[in-house]
Homo-oligomer: A and B are copies of this chain.
Amino acid sequence: MQKRDMRVAVIQQANTADMNANQQKSEQLIRNAAADGAQLVLLQELHRGLYFCQTEDTTVFDQAETIPGPSTERFGALANELNIVLVTSLFEKRAAGLYHNTAVVLDSDGSIAGTYRKMHIPDDPGFYEKFYFTPGDARFNNGDSGFTPIQTSLGKLGVLVCWDQWYPEAARLMALAGAELLLYPTAIGWDRQDTNDEQQRQLNAWITIQRSHAVANGLPVLVANRTGFEGSPIAKDANDGIEFWGNSFIAGPQGEVLTQSDATGDGILITDIDMARTENVRRIWPYLRDRRIDGYEDLLKRYRD
């Protein structure tokens, strides 16, 4: 099996309330990654602004935009200029009162290669996403599944978003549809009230589950997470908020970590992935061969009670 390298990059950044400054920072990091030869660049979840789900505020819907819209225009032009595939994450306005947390892939000719609307929506203290985001459609009007990889000039991308990363089902569905990479734009962090031990358990769980999607499916995984502390708009004290834990990483198809960020600081991860290794790894670890699809029907149940 001949080596077939693709150079990929993941961008991790801290944001402020200045959306224009965030955007300029993203663009500069994308340009730097492309200058280093990256063919594919992944941005973090909702990279245009602060993570706005720490409270439920109807004025935030003003930040949503249509697809196509200003962001896809701007990022499409950049992808075209740099001749890269660019995976972005937007607050999508689909209709009045109907919004999604949507990843948009811009192909290297500037066109929209496809979109993925976050299927699993969290709702925890400080992460009030169910207020803002309608889950992606299970089936679109054209019959397509909500779990469909996006075909680009570089291959089929299994783009999922943040909370999806805890669901082996989502990664598997992408793999079964021919995804060649799994990509997770993310915004996750610590509560400063938690102990250091608890924080480490959470971080390690997050790394472990995403590496496991690589293992289970024999696919490389790219993860872009936000960094920096963002105070809660309804803070009672200065520690109320989210300490985004960074630790963006890229893993190979055995779950091996190829490169990883730390918890703080803007930066670019860049590495070459041998896209032919999936074929090699799956030949000797042929999990897809042995799935017991005759015994899986209860996966479609909420609970087996």
Residues of A within 8 A of B (CB): 119-122, 124, 135-136, 138-139, 145-147, 163, 166-170, 172-173, 176-178, 201-202, 204-205, 208-209, 211-212, 215-216, 254-256, 284-288, 290-305
Nearest CB on B from A257, distance (A): 9
Please indicate which of the listed interface residues A172, A254, A284, A291 has the most CB atoms of chain B within 10 Å of its own CB: A291
From B147, B201, B287, A256 is in contact (CB under 8 Å) with B201
Are A176 and B301 touching (Cβ within 8 A)?
Answer: yes
List chain B residues, Cβ under 8 A from A295.
Answer: 119, 136, 138-139, 145-147, 173
Closest to A124 in B: B284
Bound-state Cα–Cα, A209 to B285, Å: 13
From B138, B163, B304, A294 is in contact (CB under 8 Å) with B138
Bound-state Cα–Cα, A120 to B296, Å: 12
Q: With A172-B168, A255-B204 given, is the CB distance from A297 to B300 under 8 Å?
A: yes
Closest to A168 in B: B168
Please indicate which of the listed interface residues A168, A255, A297, A300 has the most CB atoms of chain B within 10 Å of its own CB: A168
From B145, B212, B255, A168 is in contact (CB under 8 Å) with B212
List chain B residues, Cβ under 8 A from A254.
Answer: 201-202, 204-205
Please indicate which of the listed interface residues A204, A215, A255 has the most CB atoms of chain B within 10 Å of its own CB: A215
List chain B residues, Cβ under 8 A from A300.
Answer: 293, 296-297, 299-300
Are B288 and A303 touching (Cβ within 8 A)?
Answer: yes
From B178, B211, B296, A208 is in contact (CB under 8 Å) with B211
From B166, B255, B286, A216 is in contact (CB under 8 Å) with B166
26 A-B pairs within 8 Å (CB atoms) are namely A121-B290, A124-B286, A145-B295, A147-B298, A167-B216, A168-B172, A168-B212, A169-B291, A169-B299, A173-B295, A173-B296, A173-B298, A173-B299, A176-B298, A176-B301, A201-B256, A204-B256, A205-B215, A208-B212, A208-B215, A208-B255, A209-B255, A291-B302, A293-B299, A293-B300, A293-B302
Nearest CB on B from A204, distance (A): 7
Are B287 and A167 touching (Cβ within 8 A)?
Answer: yes
Closest to A139 in B: B295
From B120, B177, B299, A290 is in contact (CB under 8 Å) with B120
Nearest CB on B from A268, distance (A): 25
From B122, B136, B255, B305, A205 is in contact (CB under 8 Å) with B255
Nearest CB on B from A288, distance (A): 7
Nearest CB on B from A27, distance (A): 33
From B138, B166, B292, B304, A177 is in contact (CB under 8 Å) with B304
Bound-state Cα–Cα, A287 to B121, Å: 10
Are A287 and B216 touching (Cβ within 8 A)?
Answer: no
